[in-house]
Structure 1
């Protein structure tokens, strides 16, 4: 059984995630209504055929309404997710007889677990998709659903399928499904709005209507991106606890290791074959055993199990990896494999060849020579924290001065402009401090034919240790309005797949403009890309230029925009400080 302290920590993160999700949804809803009322107030000065004025309901407090709505969504989440998955992905029931044909061991395991706990057999669902995935949702053992894709049933053996089913049952045993199911229902509603609007807009010929739908779809994706961040810490903790419980339920930790290794390669092969990230893998990766973001590059850069394990050395050996996981829904795969190795050595199971030996290196020890790069990596956050500390210090000085009637500086006390101003000033300085190291000078002829496998193997790299390089390959990604924000671009090279981060020449907001040469026009073509390759928990490339033939599809300047954002933030903070409360 999972130790009690781990369970308590998991449940604590569930409560915090639920509170944070409520706060952000309430803020988004209230801000949206406030902006709408402000717009109506400005338009009310114009004569219209109908009365245009602010709506009283929009100005009221909706916190209780939001709380009731979210609780209602949580309680209805199993049926809401049933409907959404059936509508978009053609989800259908999977009978016990059909499961037995693919995995008799899986059916026996489900029956054993449910009999021991007096639970009914969970409702089984199948999605006819080639992408290998499985996930579960529900808030009580009587309404838990376990969903598997056709690709998982066909690509994995009967024993491996049983291990995945044990992983999903572990979530029910740990009681970690209620909150994540409610969050998942909201996220999938927003994601489906983005996807449907983008597909609808692609079919339209009127430019203004197409632009409108693209803008709304992009807004929906932005909301999905923001709300998904709230679920990531809970998702990581769920995954870690479920790995431990799966090893206990099956008695075969090495089987779960094998499943994760095979799933890494299967997901990358699916994306490579599909030519973009399937919506199913992106919209629900926080519910799945392995995110497509984690699997993409290592799974495509290795042609054998041993080479794949060597690429995962960073996951286990980088001494500062835990500071860089904020954007991942699961722990790095290498870390999970090592932990499963520990569960195996602590059981009465005959050990198979150790994955630890394949890594080849001992865990790196943090030293003073390595700490400065980590501080430089997090300099924007550190700068913001220093700004807050300085502001609180001035508040303290103001409070003491107020007690002694020193009125010339007593105004420091409880002045909110000091908090806001110093926070922004620290954040801006932090951005400026690291810009030269984060974007080293790009040579006229940067490094070519870089070996992606060797680049990924270095266990001491941080994202700030970037490599200016030039890569050639085929550009993959979504077409049309679904990729208007450039959120899904991948380069297929001879050595594997690399996710691309790119902006337009007009900066972040320029991605929303109807550019003449949008990178989606180069999809499926052989392109040359110049940029900065980075290694963290995942591999990605910040793009400076995409060129296909004689056409430049993206001429962005990340160092310039980072500098402008840093300077703008500093100036904003200084303006707030001079303006005062």
Structure 2
């Protein structure tokens, strides 16, 4: 029996073919024992035994699973003994044997996977950073430099450019310097703007933490806690903070607690001795003590590494935009008039201003995770904390009627991105770590993951779990999740398909570039017959044709949906945002915002395996989405419905709805129609503009 049998058994286990997995693994172990390879040094035989326990458990053969666990209790490897001690209490002696079936989800998001929780015997062990982390110093100084230049330019536009230095002149004796006067006047304007920028930046250095404190006290009822209060939930956390702060000669960060919301932790501050670490009460209640310690270590790592200091300095002015957004939202709920339609504009401004900080936040997260693992020796604790927190956030906010201000205004400062937690919600419901790890294969293997991560403030959870599992292996620990051992994928086929799909996904941009080039060629070939405006007109027409082609290619063929569930969709490593998969799901409709509030919370469907975001396009188009208030759809909230649409996967997964059905009532969505109509409108606008705009030849040749 070759090692290929072990790989085949592992794949059969991950795909739910438990009887086949048992046969392959038993045969492999029998051959190993005959050759005398099942000793303490044979890691492959040990892996086969552990997978065999999982297969027995999933198939209901609990007595066999217990017997094999008892054998592992006598194994020379201490990690194997620890794993068996952890699993054995969860295998009752008498269990009714069910039929073979795929891994069934557990209803509670706090369900623990079948895995060990071990940690390094010695703290402070040095572990090399992964290549994807990159140098943090250049990212910090680069972000700070870009922020300073932007502030300098903004000060010049708002103030410096309007200063009048017309009276400034040289004495007659210096007549030869008169030509330098325009340069000198502009230099003084930029100097004044720079002075204003420096003063504003110094003010932010001291004002930003106070602003953040005020924001969270007003919106989220932030209160300050003592170290003793945190110690009651996790004694290890108190010891950890005291030890690390003493080693780094750092003042103990200010500790805060927010009573509401799901399990979340975030950190901010502009000086190392003035950092704040804030957690929700749910995090202290739902996480184990060692997991809480890992979260605090990760937050302290962001303070010591310095990235959170830059993010607070640059991100605190953006919080003023979010504060205005909250005020407008509250007015919209009371007045029910057009004031509610200002909220999407403010949210767009807030998102655009936050986007440039995403790169530093992602890079800082890798370094903070690395610091937490070295400080605690417990990568599995941080992995479990991320999984529980992500699932808990999904569960806590699934019925929100408006976006959670806590999640949005702490996105840059939190220890995870709430927009990428759908997969974790499904994975946390699985009993076995092998199946749970398979949910994150898309993050690790799909070529789209690297591109779509640009839209995320933090690394994708699959990437973080993969890095943490690598740390665990370097510390000779069994990872909390079984990652990187999923089904074999054709990487070359995925990569070649990716470039074609990317061209379709960005068809409007490609069409605009091709149209611009075509217009330029026509104008250069026929300069006496064509006006220069043909260049702009063909670019607009190309943009519209690109949108129309997306409507055809992204919703290709007839809609023939296949019944499925959220878990199987999220576990598909080949899904992408371009090639749609017609699906049919059944579950409860949750999460749509209130009437009159036009930035409502995301519409979702919940079934027994997880939550799936839904995107609805009214038959009346964007006007119907905004002004009708989606009243018919809101009437279905909390009801069990069937949804049919096109499944897509980016940094988060979603379904473009075709229709929602509740009983005999059917509510249609028209994403393909309105994408095509919008493209046609842009084409007609470009054609009209080519004949109606003023002649641009004079302006282009001035």
What TM-score, normalized to structure 1?
Answer: 0.79
User: 2:446 touches 2:573 (CA, 8 Å); kept in 1?
Assistant: yes
Give the deviation of 1:82 after TM superposition.
Answer: 0.2
- Distance of 1:29 and 1:501 partners within structure 2: 40
- Distance of 1:440 and 1:90 partners within structure 2: 49
2:362 counterpart residue number:
236
1:490 counterpart residue number:
604
- Distance of 2:195 and 2:643 partners within structure 1: 49
2:468 counterpart residue number:
340
1:474 counterpart residue number:
588
Of the three residues 661, 667, 673, the one matched with 1:560 is 673
- Distance of 2:324 and 2:660 partners within structure 1: 30
2:352 counterpart residue number:
226
Give the deviation of 1:476 after TM superposition.
Answer: 1.3
Q: SS at the partner of 2:381?
A: helix
Give the deviation of 1:382 after TM superposition.
Answer: 3.6
User: 1:504 touches 1:511 (CA, 8 Å); kept in 2?
Assistant: yes
- Distance of 2:193 and 2:644 partners within structure 1: 48
Q: SS at the partner of 2:491?
A: coil
Q: SS at the partner of 1:480?
A: coil
2:545 counterpart residue number:
429
2:143 counterpart residue number:
14
User: 2:402 touches 2:594 (CA, 8 Å); kept in 1?
Assistant: no
1:135 matches 2:266? yes
User: 2:436 touches 2:481 (CA, 8 Å); kept in 1?
Assistant: no
Give the deviation of 1:498 after TM superposition.
Answer: 0.9
2:121 counterpart residue number:
none
User: 1:18 touches 1:179 (CA, 8 Å); kept in 2?
Assistant: no
- Distance of 1:19 and 1:390 partners within structure 2: 40
Give the deviation of 1:315 after TM superposition.
Answer: 0.8
1:88 matches 2:216? no
1:258 matches 2:384? yes
User: 1:483 touches 1:520 (CA, 8 Å); kept in 2?
Assistant: no
User: 1:527 touches 1:548 (CA, 8 Å); kept in 2?
Assistant: yes
- Distance of 1:271 and 1:25 partners within structure 2: 38
Q: SS at the partner of 1:522?
A: coil
Of the three residues 152, 164, 177, the one matched with 2:283 is 152
Give ranges in structure 2 of 5+ residues lacking alignment. 1-127, 160-189, 697-702
Q: SS at the partner of 1:503?
A: coil
Q: SS at the partner of 1:366?
A: helix
2:307 counterpart residue number:
176
User: 1:90 touches 1:128 (CA, 8 Å); kept in 2?
Assistant: yes
1:370 counterpart residue number:
497
Give the deviation of 1:136 after TM superposition.
Answer: 0.7
Give the deviation of 1:577 after TM superposition.
Answer: 5.4
2:644 counterpart residue number:
530
- Distance of 1:266 and 1:519 partners within structure 2: 26
User: 2:455 touches 2:651 (CA, 8 Å); kept in 1?
Assistant: no
Q: Write the deviation string for residues 176-233 of structure 1: whole angstroms up to 9, x where unpaired.
A: 12342245434433334333433343344xxxxx213312334333333333334333
Q: How does 1:105-504 map to 2 (within 5 A)?
A: 105-204=236-335, 210-272=336-398, 278-300=404-426, 302-304=429-431, 306=433, 307-346=435-474, 349-353=475-479, 355-357=481-483, 359-361=485-487, 365-367=491-493, 369-371=496-498, 372-386=500-514, 408=528, 420-421=536-537, 423-443=539-559, 446-447=560-561, 449-481=563-595, 483-504=597-618
User: 2:148 touches 2:197 (CA, 8 Å); kept in 1?
Assistant: no
- Distance of 1:63 and 1:520 partners within structure 2: 50
1:77 matches 2:208? yes
Q: Write the deviation string for residues 120-153 of structure 1: whole angstroms up to 9, x where unpaired.
A: 1111111112410011111111221111111111
Q: SS at the partner of 1:435?
A: helix
Q: 1:221 to 1:535 in 2, by over 3 A?
A: same
Number of aligned residue pairs: 530
Give the deviation of 1:549 after TM superposition.
Answer: 5.0
1:50 counterpart residue number:
none
Q: SS at the partner of 2:464?
A: helix
Give the deviation of 1:436 after TM superposition.
Answer: 1.8
Q: 1:9 to 1:339 in 2, by over 3 A?
A: farther
Q: Write the deviation string for residues 502-523 of structure 1: whole angstroms up to 9, x where unpaired.
A: 2333323433314473533332
- Distance of 2:644 and 2:497 partners within structure 1: 28
Higher mean Cα deviation, 506-515 or 332-341? Answer: 506-515
Give the deviation of 1:316 after TM superposition.
Answer: 0.6
Higher mean Cα deviation, 141-150 or 425-434? Answer: 425-434
User: 2:640 touches 2:662 (CA, 8 Å); kept in 1?
Assistant: yes
What TM-score, normalized to structure 2?
Answer: 0.67
Give the deviation of 1:528 after TM superposition.
Answer: 3.4
1:102 counterpart residue number:
233
Give the deviation of 1:343 after TM superposition.
Answer: 3.0
Give the deviation of 1:164 after TM superposition.
Answer: 0.8
Q: 1:556 to 1:154 in 2, by over 3 A?
A: same
User: 1:544 touches 1:555 (CA, 8 Å); kept in 2?
Assistant: yes
Q: Write the deviation string for residues 329-361 of structure 1: whole angstroms up to 9, x where unpaired.
A: 222211111122233344xx2221474557423
Give the deviation of 1:423 after TM superposition.
Answer: 4.6
Q: 1:437 to 1:123 in 2, by over 3 A?
A: same
Q: 1:527 to 1:166 in 2, by over 3 A?
A: same
Higher mean Cα deviation, 103-112 or 472-481? Answer: 472-481
Larger radius of gyration: 2
Q: SS at the partner of 1:170?
A: helix
1:33 counterpart residue number:
none
Give the deviation of 1:155 after TM superposition.
Answer: 1.0
Give the deviation of 1:154 after TM superposition.
Answer: 1.1
